[in-house]
Amino acid sequence: MGCGASGPACPGGGTSCVSIGAGTSAAEIENRFATLTDGSTVVFGEGTFAMNDTIIIAANNVTVIGAGMGKTIFDFSGQKGGDGEGFFAQSVQNLTLQGFTVKDTLGNAVKVLGSTGVRFDHLETMWTGADSASHGGYGLYPVLSKNVVIEHCIASGASDSGIYLGQSEQATIHDNEVHDNVAGIECENTWFTDVHDNYAHDNTGGILIFALPGLQQMATHDIRVFSNRIENNNTSNFAAQGNTVGLVPRGTGFLVMAATNVEFFGNTLSGNETGNSAIISYYATQQPISDQTYNPLPDYVSIHDNTFTGGGDTPDLTKKFGLLLASAQSSFPGSVVPSLMWDGIEDPQTAANICYANNGSAGYVDLHLDQVDPNNPNLPAVMSVEPPPAGSCTPLAPITFPGSDQ
Amino acid sequence: MNARWAIFVVLFVHTGCTTKNACRPGGDGTYTTALYDKLSSYCMVNIEAGDVVPESGVTPYDQTTPLFSDYATKRRTIWMPPGTPATYTADGPFDFPVGTIATKSFGWNGKWLETRVLVKKENGWTGASYVWNDDQSEATIQPGGGFFTTPESDAYLVPNKNECIKCHESTGTIVPIGLRADRINHDFAYATGTENQLAHWSRMGILTGAPVPESSPALADFSDTSLSTEARARAYLAANCSYCHSSTGEARNTGLLLGMEVTDPYRLGTCKTPVATGKAASNLSYDVVPGNPDASIMVYRMQATTPSIMMPELGRSVVHSEGVAVVRDWIAEMPGSCQ
């Protein structure tokens, strides 16, 4: 119904369909989205659509379908004004974006705020500018949202995170490829999320699970990260300083900061040159904490049944944390940073409750950062590389929610 | 002849229109179902001798500290169906009746580009922008918006219908921004003489429940140099930023809150690390660094004109030097440091 002869055919489903063929002007596309009604399906044909402003979706139950990644391309390099985003939706229900590429936005590529039922499927976000510091911050960026699925997507080139799930809950991020971003996948102040079967390579850091102070939704908890490949995340950090990810050393595989109830299992990590995995408190950033409601300490983190190969041999000397590790490198067994790192800062009353099991021959270090004098750091004097007692890690429950039909 | 005369009498009696403009505010009333295509159908404003003139029965108003929009001259009007006044509340937009029509027109040097219309329907507010024709006789709905050239800029954005929500949405609901006590609590020069707007609205029967103006909140005028720098800067930030930077606005994810009700310096940006700011942090560490405007991300983004870096995100394409100056001075005067 309502499909023009020149545009692609509409698939079944949806109460109305808008079909947009190659050659449709940016102004006409803006017009179509501005007048979109609830329940609409928007189908784009193959081709490149040069946009000069953000495409905003304000209706509920909308599906936008392209002819596939690399086939339907939204090119935002001529962005003239607006907020600099590619696609944006706010306070909508049940939004599906599927089968297209979003390229060279000034800001974030695809942002969805305050929405419930968000699905990104076979979406690609990328920046092609030679100056990577000029790239937009986030590729796929749901925030303050619920029931989110990000699957079969490719995100590259983001100057912050390729896939960034912020202040959200009930999400699955699976079967995506993230590369050449500062952070491959980052979950921040997020609850009840599964991150699995993703391939994170050639970022500055592969997968980051963070809790940060000062936000609307506080804490990060109940996150399962499993069956991912996290390889060679050795790209120099090109984030603007000041951002938390700007502190991440090149060569970081998996990093947990200040999160609670995190289970990391069945992953393959290799060749992350600063270190394959670390669990740290926010104190490790040496940033001031003004938010009294914030808990800077991680706890209940279990790391089990992972495979570690190589890595830890060339810490990033441009970042404080990398420098600190490099200063102790000759004291580590085999002169490589162990694959299992903990900063050793915990609440003495409650303990950190970190569990390690069945991680092959991966080395371990407790950095005891709480005992390091920041003005005269001498890591070898305080750290401990004795393996932690083998524990049996309690699994977390799988995440399920309406629409999580993986 | 008799039939025509009868129609005229009906219009005259019903609306009180003078013979000059025989239109009826609200038109045929169907705008609460679907917005009109033509601005004239609302019978809210027309352009005479280079200025926006409200139709009879339509109330002009202005803002103490307005949102900056590329140095546009703005004219605002409010109208409610007769006999259905808005209800006063001290904080937040008034509670307006179904059928309320608010307009805001944007022009430069006596040439008017667009008039934005906000309408209260049964299920809430909706709005769109209308772009004026060359001879300024009519404006036509422009749901897709677009970029226009003004004396200030070649990339002035008439917002598309969806862009309206970025500023006007408060957790899922579209709301007016400036139609609240603190923003209009000051004198306005009406054709009939100068009067406080709250008092005028009450006297005209379009607002009920309002206390005397002295007992209502009033936002400071950011350009009033007799006030403290802090009062001026806070008023500027409230008017220009807090529609998004509030606990219910579009920028609520950032944790930076800039409304007048906020008292915690950290929430106002002092030594607050940026969140989701990306390259717009420009290698700066904090939103506001006391004593150091040049190290403050807030100032950097107010001075920017590149989309994705500039703040506000929408609504301007040039720098508001006067606004930047007030915020710079406020930060420069601030005691303390971040480390």
Domain boundaries, chain B: 30-215, 229-333
More confident residue, A388 or B227: B227
Taking the C-alpha atoms of residue A131 and residue A128, their distance in angstroms, rounded to an integer, is 9
Q: Do B252 and A144 touch (CB under 8 A)?
A: yes
Tell me the pLDDT band of B124, cut-offs 50, 70 and 90. very high
- Predicted pLDDT of residue A362: 95
Distance CA A150, CA A165 (A): 10
Beta bridge partners of A274: none
Looking at the partner chain, which of B252, B274, B313 has a beta carbon nearest the beta carbon of A243? Answer: B274
**Residue of A56, A143, A241 with shortest CB distance to B162:** A56
Buried b (16+ CB within 10 A) or exposed e, A168-194: bbbbbbbbbbbbbbbbbbbbbbbbbbb
Q: What distance in Å separates the CA atoms of residue B148 and residue B136, rounded to the nearest whole number?
A: 16
CB pairs under 8 A between A and B: 171
Of chain B, the end-to-end C-alpha distance in Å amounts to: 83
Residue-level pLDDT at B17:
45
Structure tokens at A63: 């599906």
pLDDT of B181 strictly over 80: yes
**Bigger pLDDT: B240 vs A391:** B240
pLDDT tens digits for A299-345? 999 999 999 999 999 999 999 999 999 999 999 999 999 999 999 99
Residues A102 and A76 sit within 8 Å (Cβ to Cβ): yes
Q: Which residues contact A42 (CB under 8 A, 6 or more apart)?
A: A17, A18, A19, A20, A32, A33, A36, A62, A63, A64, A65
CA–CA gap between residue B71 and residue A6 (Å, rounded):
43
Whether residue A214 and residue B313 make contact (CB cut-off 8 A), yes or no, is no
> Given A31, A54, A167, which is nearest B253 (Cβ)?
A167
Tokens, residue B58: 């339509």
Structure tokens at B227: 């006030």
> Chain B residues with CB inside 8 Å of A138's CB?
276, 278
The pLDDT confidence band at residue B12, using thresholds 50, 70 and 90, is very low
Q: Which residues 6+ apart lie within 8 Å of B82 measured at CB? A: B57
Q: Do B272 and A290 touch (CB under 8 A)?
A: yes
How is residue B295 written in tokens? 């190290």
Quick one: pLDDT at residue A4? 42
| A34 chain-B contacts, CB cut-off 8 A | 143-145, 160-162
CA distance B280 to chain A (A): 8
Nearest alpha-carbon partner for A207 in A168, A170, A174, A240: A174
For residue A37, give the chain B residue with the closest CA: B162
pLDDT band at B127 (very low <50, low <70, confident <90, very high): very high
Report the range of poorest mean pLDDT among A1-15, A193-207, B146-160: A1-15
Q: Which residue matches tokens 């690390």? A: B273
C-beta atoms of B157 and A33 within 8 A: no
| Chain A residues close to B143, C-beta within 8 Å | 31, 34-35
- In this prediction, residue A16 carries a pLDDT of 87
Position B8 scores a pLDDT of 40
A46-95 confidence digits (pLDDT tens): 999 999 999 999 999 999 999 999 999 999 999 988 789 999 999 999 99
pLDDT for position B2:
43
**For helices A26-34 and B161-168, what crossing angle results, to 10°?**
60
Average pLDDT, chain B: 92
Quick one: pLDDT at residue A3?
Answer: 43
Q: What separation in angstroms does the CA of A373 have from each of A326, A330, A343, A368?
A: 16, 20, 14, 11
Tell whether the model's pLDDT for residue B14 goes beyond 70: no
Phi, then psi, of B43 in degrees rounded to 5: 60, 50
Displacement of CA A100 from its chain's centroid (Å): 20
The alpha carbon of residue B56 is apart from the nearest alpha carbon of chain A, in Å, by: 32
Single out the residue of A66, A78, A148, A69 nearest to residue A114, CA to CA: A148
Averaged pLDDT for residues A172-201: 98
Question: CB-CB: which of B147, B250, B313 is closest to A90?
Answer: B250
State the amino acid at position B181 in one-letter form: A
Chain A residues inside the 8 Å CB shell of B253: 113, 143-144, 166-167, 215-216
H or E element, residue B326: helix B321-333
Q: Quick one: what percent of chain B has pLDDT higher than 70?
A: 94
- Checking DSSP bridges between strand A110-113 and strand A138-143, what pairing results, if any? parallel
For A229-252, the three-class secondary structure string (H helix, E strand, C coil) is EEECCCCCCCCCCCCHHHHCCCCE
Q: Which secondary-structure segment (H or E) carries B322?
A: helix B321-333
Asked if A159's CB is within 8 angstroms of B279's CB, the reply is yes
At residue A14 the predicted structure's pLDDT band, cuts being 50, 70 and 90, is low
DSSP states along A255-324 = EEES-EEEEEES-EEE--SSEEEEEE-GGGGT-----TT-----EEEEEES-EEES--SS--TTSHHHHH
Predicted confidence (pLDDT) at residue B7 exceeds the cutoff of 60? no
- Residues 6 or more apart from A81 whose CB is under 8 A from it? A52, A53, B147, B155, B156, B157, B307, B317
Contacts of A137 in chain B (CB under 8 A): 276-280, 308
User: Do B146 and A239 count as a contact with CB atoms less than 8 A apart?
Assistant: no
C-alpha A348/C-alpha A372 separation (Å) is 17
Q: Which of B123, B171, B308, B338 to mutate to test the interface with A (most CBs of A within 10 A)?
A: B308
Say yes or no to pLDDT of B309 above 70.
yes
A88 to chain B, closest Cα gap in Å: 10
Judge whether residue B11 has pLDDT over 50: no
Q: Average pLDDT, stretch B33-59?
A: 97
pLDDT tens track for A102-115: 999 999 999 999 99
What's the pLDDT at A13?
A: 54
How far apart are the C-alpha atoms of A228 and A305, rounded to whole Å?
12
Instruction: Decide if B338 and A143 are in contact by the 8 Å CB cutoff.
Output: no
> In this complex, do A91 and B169 lie within 8 Å of one another by their Cβ atoms?
yes
Of B250, B267, B279, the CB nearest to A113: B250
Give the C-alpha separation, A194 to B242, whole Å.
35
A106–B253 C-beta distance less than 8 A: no
- Tell me what the pLDDT averaged over chain A comes to: 94
Spatial CB neighbours of B188, under 8 Å, sequence gap ≥ 6: B60, B61, B62, B194, B195, B196, B197, B200
What is the DSSP pairing of strand A252-257 with strand A183-188? unpaired
B281 vs A contacts (CB less than 8 Å): 240-243, 246
Interface probe with B: pick from A90, A243, A257, A375, most Cβ of B within 10 Å: A243
Rounded to 5 degrees, φ, ψ at A328 are -105, 5
Distance CA A341, CA A327 (A): 15
- Taking residues B162-183, report their average pLDDT: 93
Full-model pTM = 0.93
Partner residue opposite A81 with nearest CB, options B147, B172, B274: B147
**Mean pLDDT, residues B262-284 taken together:** 89
Sign of CA dihedral B111, B114, B118, B119: positive
CB-CB contact of A50 with A73 (8 Å):
no
- Chain A residue closest to B35 (CA)? A35
Contact flag B307-A79 (C-beta cutoff 8 Å): yes
Are B278 and A144 in contact (CB < 8 Å)? no
The confidence score (pLDDT) of residue A288 equals 86
Where do the DSSP E strands lie in chain B?
45-48, 51-54, 59-61, 73-79, 86-87, 101-108, 111-121, 124-132, 139-141, 146-148, 156-158, 169-170, 173-174, 187-190, 193-196, 207-208
pLDDT score at A325: 95
Q: How far is B218 from chain A (nearest CA, A)?
A: 28
CA distance B190 to B277: 44
User: Is the CB of A133 less than 8 angstroms away from the CB of B253?
Assistant: no
What pLDDT is stored for residue A15 in this prediction? 61
